[in-house]
Chains A and B, each alone.
Chain A
């Protein structure tokens, strides 16, 4: 099985900060990586797919990069609505696994 590891587990940041979250795969997944945002008591929301494609309706301050085994999610200027938990997910041929999550907290 492919394992996904995110870092950090928790991140403290202020409004306006540039924030980067890393996701590593235990083996190459090409660009088959998605990023989700989850707020307390809500279902996750798709932000990025195929490593760097922005889902429709998602603000352009979110971006993704990487391929192979190392990927990043960047929020260019953190907004109050962005404090949440973020998950990466590898997907390939309809198999999937999530990272353990990164909680973005207010500093």
Chain B
């Protein structure tokens, strides 16, 4: 069974750093792209960027380029999303999802809620 299990909710202060994770199981982790999607409170889905764990090829939406870093450790089948300096506007639910074919998300993690507040 394909599963993506994300790390737990985080509460951080502005300016702090953060790295959240997404562990894949039940399939060949290095053979599928993984994407990250943001959902701000009460808002829609935003495509942030993707990574191919096989070679760490990474692509970012222009809206998120320079704001976050996507990485992966194929030895432990885990993808990451990280911030070096959080802002209050980073408060959101973040989902990872597996990509099948050329870009559709077929399996999703349960989401990680990030709250940034002073």
Contact = CB atoms under 8 A, between A and B. Distances in A.
Q: Are A and B interaction partners?
A: yes
Interface of A: 1, 32, 34, 36, 38, 43-46, 49-50, 55, 87, 89, 91-101
Given A44-B105, A49-B104, A89-B45, 13 more contacts: A34-B104, A36-B105, A43-B97, A43-B111, A44-B45, A45-B108, A50-B101, A87-B45, A94-B50, A94-B99, A94-B102, A98-B37, A98-B47
Interface string B91-117: 000010101111111101111000000
Given A43-B108, A95-B59, A87 B44 contact: yes
Interface SS, A side: strand
B35 interface: yes
Interface of B: 33, 35, 37, 44-47, 50, 59, 61-62, 95, 97, 99-106, 108-111
B101 A49 contact: yes
Interface SS, B side: strand
B103 A98 contact: no
Nearest to B63: A1
Nearest to A48: B104
A89 B101 contact: no
A40 to B, nearest CB: 10
A98 B101 CA distance: 17
A49 B110 CA distance: 21
B59 A94 contact: yes
A58 to B, nearest CB: 12
B109 A43 contact: yes
